[in-house]
Amino acid sequence: MAMEHVKGEDRGNVVLYALSTCVWCKKTKELLKNLGVDYSYVYVDLLKGKAREDTVEEVKRHNVKCTFPTVIINNEKCIVGYKETELKEALSR
């Protein structure tokens, strides 16, 4: 899986699963950047073959409907959709 990494303050393991064409995914990336969070992201729609299948399976483990954006925090908390308040609360220290 071709994860991109954005450096920032360590607030746990934060992973964003997104689509390259999704406005809400872009807004979520922007929010994470503005919060100064260290996170990784992947554009699922740009993946091919096995990498795409594996990534979709990973998203479905947390978000059965496999909708985007999906943010996974510390491999346990899952926030689906652009939920600014929920993300800020989950990532605040």
How many other C-beta atoms lie within 10 A of the C-beta of residue 36? 12
pLDDT tens-digit series, residues 8-21: 999 999 999 999 99
Amino acid, single-letter form, for residue 86 = E
Q: What is the pLDDT of residue 1?
A: 59
pTM, to two decimals? 0.95
Are the C-beta atoms of residues 29 and 62 closer than 8 Å to each other?
A: no
pLDDT tens-digit series, residues 33-69: 999 999 999 999 999 999 999 999 999 999 999 999 9
What mean pLDDT do residues 79-85 have? 97
Per-domain boundaries in the chain: 4-85
CATH topology for 4-85 is: Glutaredoxin (3.40.30)
